[in-house]
Structure 1
Amino acid sequence: MSLREELETQLCVCEDGGNGGKRRFMPFQLFRSVLTPEKIEASILDIEGFNMEFFEKNDVIKWVTSHGRRIFGILVLLGGKEHFITKFIGRDFQGTKFDEKLPFSIAELEDIAPEIAEEFYERQWEFVSPVWSKNAMHRELPSDVRLPFTKNERLGQGGFGVVYEITLHPQHQRMALFPENKGQKIVRKEFKSAAPRLYNESGPGSRSNTAGPEDDYDKELKNLRILNELKHPNIIELVTSYTYRGKHNLVFPLMEGDLGTLLRADRAEYPSFQQDKTFLVALCELSSAIEKVHFYTSEKFDINLMGCHYDLKPKNILVQGSTLVLADFGLSRLSRDSDQQQFSGGGSDYCAPECADADRDFERNAIDRSSDVWSFGCIISEILTYIQGGSPAVGEFRARRKVQHVSGKRASIFHHWNKGQNQGFHDYLNHLETKQDHFSRNIVNLIRGMTALDQKARPNAKEVTLALRKITVRAYYFSVWTLYKKLKKQLGDSFEAYAEYMRIQSWGVVLKLLKENGDEIAISESGLRDEMHLVEIYRCLAKIQSELEDTIERCHDSISPLFTSLRSLGDEIYSLLPSELYMSAKAHWEIEMVRSEDLGDLLETAQGAEEVNTRIATLARIKRMSILAANPKPRPSETDGSSMEIESRLVKEGKAFGSHTYTSIQDGHTRNVLVEWIRYNKFETTIFEGLIDRIESLTSLLGSANNPADFRILRCSNYVHKPGDSAFGLIFELPDVSVAVPKSLATVIEETSKFRERPSLGSRFSLALTLARSLSGFHKVGWLHKSISAYNVLLLIPSSAAASTIASNWLEEPYLIGFNHSRQDDALAFTLGPDDNKKAIQYYHPDYIQASGPGSKAPYRLQYDYYSLGLVLLEIGLWGSLSNLGQIGKRGPNSNREMRDYLLQKRVVLLGHTMGVEYQAAVHACLKGFELVQDAGPGSTKNTVLQLKFEEEVLQRLHRCRA
């Protein structure tokens, strides 16, 4: 086959409506695959009549390959005319790509090669078909150009012109316009014939003479080019625009249909919309598109515009898969100063009541963005109707809202002309909200706001988008939670199913989607915030729903499910929470997982959680041990018969350290320890025996090697009994004692409070947060400290540190001591009552002092530990001792209650200046903020609420403190 024949076979027939379908064009990629550099060289070397020396031919080959391949191809197709290439080369004065000069005029060709001018002119049009690319500038195409369409099928006609489905030849594109659309199917919107265009200096799109079709086209083209900058997936994309043979065209990707068609069809015809929540997601995305039109922002060009679509209706919303795409911007407006313009629509059923005055022959009024919101609300109401009852319900809805004007005109509008509310519309809304699901009532409430007759009462597009996203999150959450309940029931013995169920429940509780008892909370009261990643959240919930459905299906097939994916998705949904809510959700999950008081349940939790969450496993073990420590009759099966007691002779006399002793033990090798003394009265043998059991269990509890790092406690290795002193001693190992000196926080404050240099803010914030975290950890496992004070905060100070080096990092690694009065959070747990040490007593809550008098049986509460912590935080914040801050003395407060009132009035207020308002609020919460929440015994819901309140009002505030 000759080169000419090869090129002829690559020519394709144009389906552009011209010359009866006989016009042809050359797809440029096919052309280049045929006319390769090798074939160019072979062809030029064989040219007859080529009056040129052999050594000159090489220059011709190079020029054709790089500058004039299409020109040479045309000459080949002309048959025996290849030698005319030298005439074209002779006119290349600048050494540029001569191909880019195509098409040549007859006059140019007669000047270059008059012998072949006419036939070259005719064949050149096969090589100059436009190559489409996205975001191209407007093109004015000569009438002889062949459009590279392999399909050009008319789809429909409107007032503006005609819509065609076209297919571009796949080998006539530098890159695929839509890689996912292999057929490259697109549509062109051809406007009615345009008047002759007279361009001024502003270039294409500007003209001195105007006509109706010109206005429509130019306005829509401008709007689309502006909106193209957003690259929003739910705004129709303008591929390109061109004028051809007096008609203007806009080119778009081909969509599957429009929303109007969908609402008239059986739902089975749209498999992508089988799930109700798919519509919710689609509405969220569509609302985002409307929002972007209303509040147009381009950071790249530093432009902010106010926009309005002005013609929202189902027909102008296209459908592609499960996506709704906003289209038809012919009536839209994008302006820097105002979104108002005169209504110019055709009066569709979805127009707002303010668009036209029905009493004045439908005189058109000025409208703004709120009119779009009305139309969108109407569209949402029809979509909700379709979700609930399909196309028959939509037909019934339209019939029920049909009203008649005095002129005799009847329409299925959503208002009653100028008479106000359309009762048929609102009655149907009442019907829609009765559906028992997790979104209909909330959507109906949103629709009512969007279709308020008072324009100012309608939400703006941003508020609509946020509301829809929150509704979608809520709908997906309850779907996921319901599936988890089903899975938990189906796998009754699966700890992993239970753990993930509790995790997603905790997520819902902290976001106020669920109450503690599992009841739903109205969306108006939910904790979903505007600034949250709501889109990412409902997408993640959708993935969890899909994974749960697959897991449940696998269970039906008797295949043991794997929870790896669900655990990973659980981590992801938690990570999407703001940091403070993440902390609350995690805390709630941990509290609920170890909430049981049953030893068997806790053992199961400890064992099952090893593969799920090691922290929960640890907390379960600690709580189990704390219950055993509080039990006056330990179960034989729980002990191995060994005792942790050591002989008193091995404990040497040491140095008093508050109510402790800093000493050493010599049991083969010498080690320095801290001994906490528990004094007792020998008046009843049964209590004494219970005390021994408690000391054994407490030593075991505090000596666990698996205690979480945030508990901040020393390891208790043994205990000693000194009957002569009526005391037991808990022996705590001191880390790195050879280079550190133990001091209490109270001592450090007393020694340094007069120094000009104070600890850095960062070190004090870290110290406060560490102590609060430690106390929170103990409360999660049901253990009350009962003796929080600056005297029971241990600091290990390097022996080489000077007295003034209080800003060193040793301040940030405290240890909680003073467990001699601690007990399990159980009203029946063994306790010794309040300390009689005056320094310790000043840290007690006033109610505890009053309730612990003679004959009182009032239990110690979580709030009392929080109060004591608040006093320590106050000391840290003002860097002064409680005795000085509270003015305890002859003229100072003579009771804990008076001291608290004084501190709240005179001292806490100073924290705002020294430590910031977050720290001040945390201290105030400890001293006053938990009094209205009464705990209700072990494992109670109120205790859970109280611990979460502490997380939110103290821990999270301290976490936000920054130096």
Structure 2
Amino acid sequence: MSTLCEELEALLHQCEDGAGEDDRKFMPFQLLQRVLTPERIGAEVDSIGDIEFFLKTSVTTWIQSHGRRIFAILTLLREGHFITKFMGQAFQGTRFDEKLPFSKEELEAFIPDIAPQFYQRQWEFVSPVWSKNVVHREVPPDVRLPFIYNKRIDRGGFGVVYEIKLHPDHQRTALFPGNKNQRIVRKEFKSIALSRAPTFDSAGSQPESQPGSRSDSMATSENIYAKELRNLSILNELKHPNIIELVTSYTYRGKHNLVFPLMEGGDLGGLLRGTRPELFHRNETFLVALCELSSAIEKVHHYTLDKFDIELMGCHYDLKPKNILIQGSTFVLADFGISRLSSESDQELYSGGGSDYLAPECTDADNEFERKAIDRSSDVWSFGCIISEILTYMKMGPAGVKDFRAKREVQIGSRIISAFHQGYQKDNKAFRDWLCLLEGEPDTFSRNIVHLIRKMTALDRSARPSAKEVTLSLQKSSVQAYYLSVRDLYNLLAEKAGDSFEAYAEYTKIQSWGSVLKLTQENGDDAVASGLTDEMDLVKMYTCLAKIQEELEVTIERFEDSLSPLFSSLRSLGEELYDLLPSELGVIAKRYWEIEMVRSEDLGDLLKTAEGAEVVSNRIATLARIKRMSILVATNDAVPLNPTDTCLKIDHSSLRQRAPFGSHTHAELRTQDGSEKKVLVERVQYHRYETRVLGNLLARIESLSALLNSADKPTDFRILRCSGYIHNPSDCAFSLVFDLPERTRSVPKSLDTVITETYKSRERPTLGSRFNLALTLALSLSGFHKVGWLHKSISAYNVLLLIPSDSAAAKNKNTSGWLEDPYLIGFNRSRQDDTLVFTSGHTETEKVAQYYHPSYTPNPGSQRPYRLHYDYYSLGLVLLQIGLWEGLSKLVKVDGQKALSTREMLDHLLKKRVPMLGHYMGVDYQAAVWACLTEFEELGDTTLQQQDNTAHQLRFEERVINRLRKCRA
């Protein structure tokens, strides 16, 4: 059985602290604790014959509580009995182990016989336990640092970098949570004359050394160390994940050391020289890493710490690939030896450092390398150069980077370097030509990044963007790059999934999200993903898109393996992406999604959408169901809306006429239970010679009745419920019968009538209520178009308002109430949006005919087919009336002139009336009206009608509805 002395000798670890001595060992603290148990201590004390038996218990207790390390030293010296000498010293209330190391004088005083031996061996037991601590530590030269690995990995102008590993017993858990054995690095600066902690002046620099006190090199090394220690200590308070963390600092045997976590990926310089790592196989990963690095530079440039009310300006001054470390797929900013953080102006004379990435304003080679004033824009230049090499690596690999560096070689002074300029305020044509080469790549993000690089490397430093602007631009490019990648993966999924409705639904949902942010548009020189703003959480956006990208790859792989994929994760991530949009944009994106999901004319596609409420929204399912039903009815393949529905044809005798309402009629309809209800009757007249197409006309009337009969309509469908239709062959007419809302003390009136009665300024409805009316009508028309129907008779005469019967009370109390509940009527001329569907032509009502688009005005002997954007034009005229609160006849009246044609009327309104809207209703409202009247080109080839109609609907959402949403009273 081994003795305690032998066991303790075996516990000692070889010390790799770089002191240059071979046989230097240290005792791991926790290992010692595990060996020196109370039982083992008691047994060892019992074996020492020089200790009186009656003292053994007291000695054992004292060792356990005060002196395990001292006892271990004595045991190794085989002089355990001297423990009583330590017990007799007057260090009351203090653990003797905490007094280590003892001075030679102290040891000579109470153990003179073994003082030299104890003094030497005690250094094996005083190795420090390391923790995160920016307070500088002076380590005595005889202390043995608990390094079990210490290998030089780099050498610089001012020192050497070592990879080290601390013994697990000598680092606190908090140093590296979850991984006590993590390796770290230390940056050792050149030897200094004095072994002391550096001091700093108010600017964070060490005072100048006296001539002759040390070499210039040593003084510079000490100054670099002092600045880096101060800068890192300050930056540590930010806890920014992309700024190197300072673990601690110490001075040992005349050398200053900074300790950092080990970045296992090396530095960016090494990455650009080697094979592309697996973690960076996606271009988007590089972009995200650049976003994070830019955020770190931004924090250095504008340092704020709210809890201490501190604000500093900083510059790195030495940005280059070697000073950018890599941890996983993350770039980490390092080497702050010549950086500056202060509350003063950020401009100062260039003071050192040198690399190919220095800005051209640093020195003037033509004037004996005169040092120039530099500032944060110099960092932006350097960062732009680094980005250009990264982009080159992404496109061409390490060979491309090597070629790039060779091509930009220039002579500056006596040196030939691969700079990005040719000296002070001199451009490097080879660099600019290379950017053109990179810009020629087909992907969008390359063009975006090159455009950013050009701005960052402008010779005029005042034209360079700030680090914050660079970060924003990179984040926008990252969102766009991830979005385009996701879109391409969805295209691939569509090929694999075939007719998967879930795949299609999620695809169109993502497309709609990208559309509102303008991520698919080609970007000009002044915009990168122009729909994105700094008010959005762009980091969360590209993080969510990255998750979708990964999920799509897994889903596609499952299809390739003939497995059934689950779309729930994609659906959940899609919702998360929508939640990141501002509320207004979220509404717009969902409306874009509606348009895409119900654009199909295929009955099978519409059935899937109608039955897919769990995949899409209930609203989209409802729209699809209505559109499908209308197509079925129009093709004489109709099925009832619900199983309990009955025929919508009404017997003429059940209708009791009351009074005319414009071109319509108020009436009362007797129901099957004998009760009566108020209705509005819209007459559809046809000529006797049209009886040859009576079947088509009947199908259209049945289809329209069934559509308007549905009680299950979205709330923004401001249309009356249709009870059915009446056919009176003797009068060559159909009649659509609509239920009027059951309101007491209310009178239905047309918008034209209300305007005529209240055009005086004191009687007009409030501005806010007019904004709401305009938006409500636009939304209603949009919904109607989505289900594939054209209105054809939009006018102020076909907007129904329910007006309180006590008009005087309404005027005195709340005129805004007049406009809160509008209904779009006049559907007697509506039809399905299909050029092959029968239409009965233009209305013969002269007043309503004013609202027709000029291109639809019939010519003798010909009839141009009605188009979707003609409805937008008619709506524009109604919006113009709402804005100016005038009848259309007054708005188009020109003194001394004959009646205007529809084309002349439009020209007059655009020149004289629409410009007035800006003063009355604001520029957004004016722009919406202008768009309705002018911005929807007439459709061309009818074979592309559905495609063009979808584009028109999207444009209507953007240029009309979105603008009306912005209008506020």
TM class by shorter chain equals 0.7 to 0.9
Show CA shifts across 1:681-725 (max 9, x none). Answer: 442223544333222111111122442232233332322345576
Change (3 A) 1:230 1:765: farther
Question: Is the counterpart of residue 820 in structure 1 residue 845 in structure 2?
Answer: no
Aligned to 1:149: 147
Residue 225 of structure 1: SS of its match in structure 2?
helix
2:530 to 520, 527, 531: 527
Aligned to 1:674: 679
Aligned to 1:651: 655
Question: Is the counterpart of residue 591 in structure 1 residue 595 in structure 2?
Answer: yes
Asked if structure 2 preserves the Cα contact closer than 8 Å seen for 1:198 and 1:207, the reply is: no
Change (3 A) 1:900 1:87: farther
After superposition, residues 466-545 of structure 1 pair within 5 angstroms as 466-514=472-520, 524=527, 526-531=529-534, 532-545=536-549
Which one-letter code corresponds to 2:239 in the other structure?
K
Task: Provide the rounded CA distance (Å) in 2 between the counterparts of 1:835 and 1:111.
Answer: 121
Moved more, 311-320 or 590-599: 590-599
Change (3 A) 1:157 1:201: closer
Report deviation, 1:253. Answer: 0.6
Which one-letter code corresponds to 1:261 in the other structure?
G
Task: Provide the rounded CA distance (Å) in 2 between the counterparts of 1:538 and 1:615.
Answer: 29
Question: Is the counterpart of residue 692 in structure 1 residue 698 in structure 2?
Answer: yes
Change (3 A) 1:198 1:677: closer
Q: Give 5+ residue unaligned stretches, structure 1.
A: none
Task: Provide the rounded CA distance (Å) in 2 between the counterparts of 1:741 and 1:112.
Answer: 111
Change (3 A) 1:179 1:898: same
Which one-letter code corresponds to 1:160 in the other structure?
F
Aligned to 1:194: 192
Change (3 A) 1:416 1:110: closer
Aligned to 1:281: 288
Report deviation, 1:668. Answer: 1.6
Aligned to 2:562: 558
Task: Provide the rounded CA distance (Å) in 1 between the counterparts of 2:285 and 2:177.
Answer: 24
Asked if structure 2 preserves the Cα contact closer than 8 Å seen for 1:70 and 1:99, the reply is: no
Task: Provide the rounded CA distance (Å) in 2 between the counterparts of 1:286 and 1:192.
Answer: 29
Asked if structure 2 preserves the Cα contact closer than 8 Å seen for 1:742 and 1:794, the reply is: no
Report deviation, 1:273. Answer: 2.3
2:789 to 783, 786, 799: 783
Report deviation, 1:317. Answer: 1.4
Change (3 A) 1:752 1:445: closer
Question: Is the counterpart of residue 703 in structure 1 residue 709 in structure 2?
Answer: yes
Change (3 A) 1:85 1:638: same
Asked if structure 2 preserves the Cα contact closer than 8 Å seen for 1:190 and 1:249, the reply is: yes
Task: Provide the rounded CA distance (Å) in 1 between the counterparts of 2:317 and 2:523.
Answer: 38
Aligned to 1:569: 573
CA-atom RMSD, angstroms? 5.0
Show CA shifts across 1:238-259 (max 9, x none). Answer: 1222233332221111012112
Aligned to 1:232: 240
Task: Provide the rounded CA distance (Å) in 2 between the counterparts of 1:499 and 1:445.
Answer: 35
Residue 952 of structure 2: SS of its match in structure 1?
helix
Aligned to 2:17: 16
Report deviation, 1:891. Answer: 9.9
1:412 to 418, 425, 434: 418
Task: Provide the rounded CA distance (Å) in 2 between the counterparts of 1:891 and 1:955.
Answer: 37
Task: Provide the rounded CA distance (Å) in 2 between the counterparts of 1:514 and 1:71.
Answer: 73
Asked if structure 2 preserves the Cα contact closer than 8 Å seen for 1:140 and 1:243, the reply is: yes
Task: Provide the rounded CA distance (Å) in 1 between the counterparts of 2:880 and 2:665.
Answer: 24
Show CA shifts across 1:497-543 (max 9, x none). Answer: 3344444444444444446xxx9989957534342443333333333
Moved more, 567-576 or 254-263: 567-576
Asked if structure 2 preserves the Cα contact closer than 8 Å seen for 1:480 and 1:544, the reply is: yes
% identical equivalent positions: 57
Report deviation, 1:213. Answer: 2.5
After superposition, residues 41-56 of structure 1 pair within 5 angstroms as none
Matched residue count: 935
Asked if structure 2 preserves the Cα contact closer than 8 Å seen for 1:286 and 1:325, the reply is: yes
Task: Provide the rounded CA distance (Å) in 2 between the counterparts of 1:41 and 1:875.
Answer: 104
Aligned to 2:156: 158
Asked if structure 2 preserves the Cα contact closer than 8 Å seen for 1:533 and 1:576, the reply is: yes
2:325 to 318, 333, 337: 318
Report deviation, 1:796. Answer: 6.0
Report deviation, 1:330. Answer: 0.8
Question: Is the counterpart of residue 357 in structure 1 residue 361 in structure 2?
Answer: no
Which one-letter code corresponds to 1:546 in the other structure?
E
Asked if structure 1 preserves the Cα contact closer than 8 Å seen for 2:381 and 2:457, the reply is: yes
Residue 499 of structure 2: SS of its match in structure 1?
coil
1:387 to 394, 418, 423: 394
Residue 564 of structure 2: SS of its match in structure 1?
coil
Report deviation, 1:328. Answer: 0.8
Show CA shifts across 1:726-780 (max 9, x none). Answer: 5433233456x37684634636667777797976666554444333222111122
Task: Provide the rounded CA distance (Å) in 2 between the counterparts of 1:908 and 1:334.
Answer: 57
Question: Is the counterpart of residue 369 in structure 1 residue 376 in structure 2?
Answer: yes
Task: Provide the rounded CA distance (Å) in 1 between the counterparts of 2:302 and 2:199.
Answer: 31
Which one-letter code corresponds to 1:240 in the other structure?
T
Change (3 A) 1:14 1:893: farther
Report deviation, 1:319. Answer: 1.6
Which one-letter code corresponds to 1:24 in the other structure?
F
Report deviation, 1:4. Answer: 11
Asked if structure 2 preserves the Cα contact closer than 8 Å seen for 1:512 and 1:525, the reply is: no
Report deviation, 1:449. Answer: 4.0
Change (3 A) 1:9 1:832: same
After superposition, residues 943-962 of structure 1 pair within 5 angstroms as 943-962=949-968
Aligned to 1:291: 298
Show CA shifts across 1:878-913 (max 9, x none). Answer: 7x5637984979999965778877877787677667
Change (3 A) 1:921 1:560: same
Change (3 A) 1:739 1:459: same
Task: Provide the rounded CA distance (Å) in 2 between the counterparts of 1:225 and 1:417.
Answer: 35
Task: Provide the rounded CA distance (Å) in 2 between the counterparts of 1:762 and 1:41.
Answer: 91
Aligned to 1:184: 182
Change (3 A) 1:890 1:561: same
Which one-letter code corresponds to 1:264 in the other structure?
R
Moved more, 771-780 or 654-663: 654-663
Change (3 A) 1:444 1:867: closer
Change (3 A) 1:508 1:369: same
Show CA shifts across 1:911-939 (max 9, x none). Answer: 6677655445434544x453556676574
Which one-letter code corresponds to 1:661 in the other structure?
H
Task: Provide the rounded CA distance (Å) in 2 between the counterparts of 1:600 and 1:901.
Answer: 45
Task: Provide the rounded CA distance (Å) in 2 between the counterparts of 1:71 and 1:158.
Answer: 46
Asked if structure 2 preserves the Cα contact closer than 8 Å seen for 1:373 and 1:460, the reply is: yes
Asked if structure 2 preserves the Cα contact closer than 8 Å seen for 1:676 and 1:729, the reply is: yes
Task: Provide the rounded CA distance (Å) in 2 between the counterparts of 1:663 and 1:889.
Answer: 42
2:270 to 239, 261, 275: 261
Task: Provide the rounded CA distance (Å) in 2 between the counterparts of 1:680 and 1:271.
Answer: 73
Aligned to 2:212: none
Which one-letter code corresponds to 2:132 in the other structure?
K
Which one-letter code corresponds to 2:234 in the other structure?
I
Moved more, 468-477 or 258-267: 468-477
Residue 590 of structure 2: SS of its match in structure 1?
helix
Question: Is the counterpart of residue 743 in structure 1 residue 752 in structure 2?
Answer: no
Aligned to 2:670: 665
Moved more, 894-903 or 538-547: 894-903
Asked if structure 2 preserves the Cα contact closer than 8 Å seen for 1:619 and 1:781, the reply is: yes
Task: Provide the rounded CA distance (Å) in 2 between the counterparts of 1:741 and 1:450.
Answer: 66
Task: Provide the rounded CA distance (Å) in 1 between the counterparts of 2:796 and 2:36.
Answer: 89
Change (3 A) 1:857 1:365: same
Residue 151 of structure 1: SS of its match in structure 2?
strand
Aligned to 1:136: 134
